[in-house]
Structure 1
Amino acid sequence: MIQLIQNHLSESKETKENTKVRGFIPVPGTSVEMPFTFIQGAKPGKAILITAGVHGGEYPCIETAIQLAKEIDPAEVSGTILIIHPVNPAAFLARMQYYGPFDGKNLNRVFPGKATGTVSERIAYEVHQFQQAADFYLDLHGGDIHEGLVPFVIYSKLGNKEQVEHSRLASALLGFPYVVGSVSENGSIGAAAKAGTPGFLAELGQCGRWSVSEVNEYKSAVLNVLRSLHVISGEVIHSKVEFLDKMLVTTATADGCWYPAVQLEQKVKIGEKLGEVRDYFGNVKEEYLSESDGVVLYLVTSLAITSNDPLAAVGVSVT
């Protein structure tokens, strides 16, 4: 991790113990420069990677990362912490949901990326280099511009049993109500897990807004995980969470207007109506039913919907 960062620094900003350096990670072949803060602790320890703003419209996580980068004292750190804030600055400035402005791709669907691919694929490739060098990875998300959700955490089921269990238990230490497993390979945590790095993807926030209380909650949660990894000192707080086996995402099959029929955290049964897409005259084009019993973790809140967009996600309990 130290060598990867050093490659992006001038001699005047050489990394040393008990220091904090800031800069930009250029993505080769693009105009993208990812702002980062690298904290090298006073004592040896684990290498931690924290990313925020993979999706440009998810504001609580980006502000959380900015504040953590500013507030964490290297003298209190064992090991190193690299924070990238945000990963997708062009999407952030364009106020875009999900997608990037250069290629229209969802960055969190193209990991581990390609060195000579599209802009989103190249960003993913650069981030993946740091994922491989890390001992633990925290990818912070939350409440895109058109998305309502209850706080939850996703961990990858890819990798060996010890790695998966490490990710699962660390996810619970955020203290968010739900922890759900995933077998996706093309997202940030899936790519990291396949490379042997445990971690999780956290979700906190609502509909493209952010508040001081949300950021404070997010910061406290992340610091609790860092304490559990012995990166910073202090008591680790254990909270009661519900572990879910998987998350089933319902996707739109038609363009039009989206009308949810359920609410966040509502318990639904298999076959229960989640909502419907209507045309511009109010006629129903498609109805969408739950594929399983479970709890509603997120809902798209925008009236406008396009085919292939997610509509809702139901977390399914461990059987």
Structure 2
Amino acid sequence: MIDLIQSHFPTGTVASPTSKTRGFISVPGTSVEMPFTFIYGALPGKSILLTAGVHGGEYPCIETAIQLANEINPAEIQGTILIIHPVNPAAFLARMQYYGPFDGKNLNRVFPGKATGTVSERIAYQVHQFQQAADFYLDLHGGDIHEGLVPFVIYSTLGGPELSEQSRIASALLGFPYVVGSVSDNSSIGAAAKVGIPGFLAELGQCGRWNQDEVNQYKTAVVNVLRSFSVLQGEVKQHEVEFLKKMLVSTATVEGCWYPDVKLEDLVKQGQKLGEIRDYFGVVKAEYFADSDGIILYLVTSLAIMINDPLCAIGVTA
């Protein structure tokens, strides 16, 4: 990790123990510069990669990363922590949900990326290089501009049982109510798992808003995970969480106006109506029903909906 990030340091700056370096990671072939903070601890230890703002409209996680980057003291660290905050600055400044302004792609659907691909693919490729140099990967997310959710954590089941279990245990240490496995291979954590790097994707926040209480909750959760790896010292708090089997996402098959029939944390039954999409005259174009029993983890709150947009997600309990 040290050698990889060193090339992005300001001219004349050299990585050394008990130091904190700030700068920008340039993505080759693009105008993108990702702000980073590299914290080099006083003692040897694990290398941690923490990203926030893969999606530009998810604000609690971005502010959490910024505050952690400022508050963590290198003298109290064993190992190294690379924090990228935010990963997708152009999407952040454009106040965009899910997608990037350069190519209209969802960055969290193009991992591990391509060195000579579109802008989003090149960003993903750059992040993936740091994933491969890390011992553990934390990808912080939150309720996008048009999205409400209950705090939950996703870990990848790719990479084998041992890797999956390491990610699952660490996910529970955040203390968010629900932890769910994922088989996605084009997400940030899926790409990391496929090359043997454990990690998780955390979700906390509501509808493109943020407040300090949420940020404090997020920071406490992340610090607890860092303590579990002895990167930070202190007592590791154990939490009671509900482990879910999988997450089923309903997506829009037509465009129009979205009217949900469910709320966050509703327990739904297979076949239960989730909502409907109507046209601009109020005529129903499509109805959506639960594919399984489970709990509503996130729900799109915007009236506007486009084809292939997520509508809601059900965490399957059994």
Structure 1: how far apart are the matches of 2:280 and 2:19?
Answer: 58
Question: Partner of 1:280 in structure 2?
Answer: 280
Question: Partner of 2:122 in structure 1?
Answer: 122
**Number of residue pairs aligned between Structure 1 and Structure 2:** 318
Structure 2: how far apart are the matches of 1:299 and 1:15?
Answer: 43
Equivalent residues in 2 for 1:61-140, closer than 5 Å: 61-140=61-140
Question: Partner of 2:166 in structure 1?
Answer: 166
TM-score (norm 2): 0.99
Structure 2: how far apart are the matches of 1:301 and 1:246?
Answer: 22
4+ runs deviating over 3 angstroms: none
Structure 2: how far apart are the matches of 1:87 and 1:13?
Answer: 22
Question: Partner of 1:24 in structure 2?
Answer: 24
Match of 2:245, SS state, is strand
Q: CA deviation at 1:10?
A: 4.0
Equivalent residues in 2 for 1:195-210, closer than 5 Å: 195-210=195-210
Structure 1: how far apart are the matches of 2:300 and 2:116?
Answer: 33
Structure 1: how far apart are the matches of 2:20 and 2:93?
Answer: 26
The letter of the residue matching 2:221 is A
The letter of the residue matching 2:218 is Y
Q: CA deviation at 1:11?
A: 4.9
Equivalent residues in 2 for 1:205-224, closer than 5 Å: 205-224=205-224
Structure 2: how far apart are the matches of 1:256 and 1:299?
Answer: 16
Q: CA deviation at 1:124?
A: 0.1
> Cα deviations across residues 179-209 of structure 1 (Å, max 9, x unaligned)?
0000000000000000100000000000000
Is 1:48 aligned to residue 48 of structure 2?
Answer: yes
> Cα deviations across residues 5-35 of structure 1 (Å, max 9, x unaligned)?
1111245211100000000000000000000
**Counterpart contact for 2:10–2:23, Cα < 8 Å:** no
5+ residue gaps, structure 2: none
Match of 1:13, SS state, is coil
Structure 1: how far apart are the matches of 2:32 and 2:45?
Answer: 31
The letter of the residue matching 1:293 is D
Higher alpha-carbon deviation: 149-158 or 8-17: 8-17
Is 1:256 aligned to residue 262 of structure 2?
Answer: no
Question: Partner of 2:187 in structure 1?
Answer: 187
The letter of the residue matching 1:221 is A
Match of 1:96, SS state, is coil
Question: Partner of 2:298 in structure 1?
Answer: 298
Question: Partner of 1:58 in structure 2?
Answer: 58
Structure 1: how far apart are the matches of 2:10 and 2:251?
Answer: 47
Match of 2:231, SS state, is coil
**Counterpart contact for 2:259–2:277, Cα < 8 Å:** yes
TM-score (norm 1): 0.99
Match of 1:108, SS state, is helix
Question: Partner of 2:232 in structure 1?
Answer: 232
Q: CA deviation at 1:239?
A: 1.0
Structure 2: how far apart are the matches of 1:258 and 1:184?
Answer: 26
The letter of the residue matching 1:7 is S
Q: CA deviation at 1:164?
A: 0.6
**Counterpart contact for 2:53–2:88, Cα < 8 Å:** yes
